[in-house]
Structure 1
Amino acid sequence: MRSGHSPPEAWDRTVRPRTGEPRTPETLIPMGLRELEIHHTDLNAGYTFTDIPQDAARWILDDIADAFSRRTPASPSLLLRATDTDFQRDLILQR
């Protein structure tokens, strides 16, 4: 995922997108994919959550779980479990 055009140290810097949560540039990629896929379903153009590619859905759910686990004060416990695949992610809360 890292580009050869950026120095390695650039990928480890902390940035703050509009959501306000600290991120590294590498974690902005799944965040952008999440926004694209979720808002694509909002267009009412026949694209639904079932149309999201399985690998992308796993990446998005992992990103959402990671974002929730970084929130303070701590978010309530959460278990993400897909009903059509073997995907499951327990939220580990930071208190």
Structure 2
Amino acid sequence: MALLFFSQRKPKKFKIKPRYYDEHKDRLAQSEARVRKELGIEENKKNTNSYDNIHNALFNSLDRNRQEKNSKMRLGIILGIFVIVIYLFFHYAG
């Protein structure tokens, strides 16, 4: 009886059963992989261009920020001129 207290329990086994299995899709993926391997086509084209993608995204965002800043500055200048014109109109008209 004392041995039962000190014995280690075995871990519960994990069994997963897929709910949906598409045999045709699996065979198609295997044949595509085999053909790509035979032809020597690389599958990881994204990783080689990741630097370019990051670089382009950074400069696109900087360009967008610059355009927004310029448009805000233009709007401020136009509003400033408009306020000055209205002030001068009421100052000299009255």
Q: TM-score, normalised by structure 1?
A: 0.25
Query: Quick check: which one's helix share is greater?
Result: 2
Is the radius of gyration larger for structure 1 or structure 2? Answer: 2
Q: TM-score, normalised by structure 2?
A: 0.25
